[in-house]
Amino acid sequence: MHSSILQAINGISFAALLFLLASGFTITFGLMRVVNMAHGAYYLVGGYIGLTITRYTGSFALGVLGGGLAVIPLGYLIDRFLVSRTGENHLAQVLLTVGIAFVLGDVALHIWGGDNLKVPTPIELRGAIELPGGIIYPTYRFVLILFGIVVGLSLWLLYRKTQIGAVVRAGVDDREIVSAIGINIDWLFVLVSALASFLAGMAGVVGGAFLTLYPGAEWEILIYALVVVIFGGLGSLEGAMIGALIVGLLDAYGRWLLPEFSYFVLFAPMAILLLFRPRGIFGREG
C-alpha cells in the first residue's frame, strides 16, 4: 500500500516533466502542422546550457530560465530556415528534424562529454519531506509536481481564456481564415514555436536535475512525449495533460511491478487504445 502510493507520486512527478515537453510538441503540431522530432534535442541542449549556467552562477532558478531562453533562438532559426521549407510534408519533416537532432546531439556530446551529468539543485530542494500518512518523499520531485501544475494551469488559462489563446485555437481550426481576417499568422507561429522551445529547454534543466543528462537522453524522453501525444491526441493541450498523467503512472507502476516488461506496460495500452480511437483521447478527425 505504502509503495503503491509512492509509485503514484513518482508517476505524477514524471508526468509533470513529460507535460512540459509534450505540450510544446502538441501545440506546434496543432497550429503549424509540424512534427518536430528535434524536440528531444531541445530538451537536452536546454538542460546542458542550464547546467552550465547553474554551475557558474550557483542559481538553479537562473539555470532553468536560461536553459529555456537559450533554446528559443535555436528553435527559431531551425523553424525559419529549415522546417519551413518542408511545407506540410510530414515525412520530410520527420527526416529533417531527426537529422537536426543528430547534429545537435553530436555537438552536445562534444561540448559536454558522454558522462551522466546531474544539474545541481539548491539546498532547499534537496532532502526529503514528510507527506501526510508518513510518506517520506524527495522534496525536489514533490516541488516538480507543483511546478508542473502551475505551468499546466497557466498554459491552460493562456490557451483558453486570453485573446492570444483564442487566436491560436482559431489557427488550429483553420489557418487560412485566421490570416484572411487580418491576423499575422507568421508572427503567431514564431510566438508559439518560441513558447514550445522555451518549455522544452526548461524541461531539460528540470528533468536533468533528477534523470541526469547524457547522450541519448533526447530520444528516450522524446519517445515518452510521443506516447503522451498519441494517448492524448495530437494538437490538444488537454490531451497532453491527460496523456502525461497516463504515461507517467503506467511507467512508474510498470517499472515497479514488471521491470523487464515496463515498455510493454507502457506501449500495449497505447496500441489497444489506437485500435478503438486511432486519434487518441482528445484527437479530432481530419
Please choose, from the candidates 213, 222, 235, 224, the residue with its C-alpha nearest in 3D space to the C-alpha of residue 280.
235
Q: CB-wise, 142 or 219, nearer to other proteins?
A: 219
Residue 24: closest CA among 175, 210, 168, 140: 168
Which of 123, 182, 275, 285 is close enough to bind other proteins by CB under 8 A? 275
Please tell me whether residue 92 binds other proteins under the rule CB under 8 A: yes
Of 13-21, 85-93, 128-136, 166-174, the segment contacting other proteins by CB under 8 A is 85-93
Decide if residue 82 touches other proteins (CB under 8 A): yes
**What span, in angstroms and rounded, lies between the C-alpha atoms of 191 and 183?**
13
Q: Angle CA(208)–CA(213)–CA(115) in degrees, nearest 5?
A: 140
219 in contact with other proteins (CB under 8 A):
yes
Contact 202, 64 (CB under 8 A): yes
Q: Give the contact letters, 104-133, x = binds to other proteins (CB under 8 A), - = no.
A: -xxx-xx-----------------------
Q: Which residue has the cell 524527495?
A: 138
Q: Smallest gap, in angstroms, from Cβ of residue 41 to other proteins?
A: 10
Does 274 bind other proteins (CB under 8 A)? Our answer is yes
| 124 C-beta neighbours (distance < 10 Å), count | 10
60: enclosing H helix or E strand: helix 60-81
Check residue 98 for interaction with other proteins (CB under 8 A). Answer: yes
Out of 80, 86, 142, 183, name the contact with other proteins by CB under 8 A.
86
* Binding of residue 281 to other proteins (CB under 8 A): no
Which residues neighbour 205 within 8 Å (Cβ) at sequence distance 6 or greater?
46, 47, 49, 50, 51, 54, 63, 64, 67, 68, 119
Position 27 contacts other proteins (CB under 8 A): no
Binding footprint of other proteins on the chain (CB under 8 A) = 29, 35, 82, 85-86, 89-92, 94-96, 98-103, 105-107, 109-110, 219, 223, 226-227, 229-230, 234, 259-264, 267-268, 270-271, 274-275, 278-279
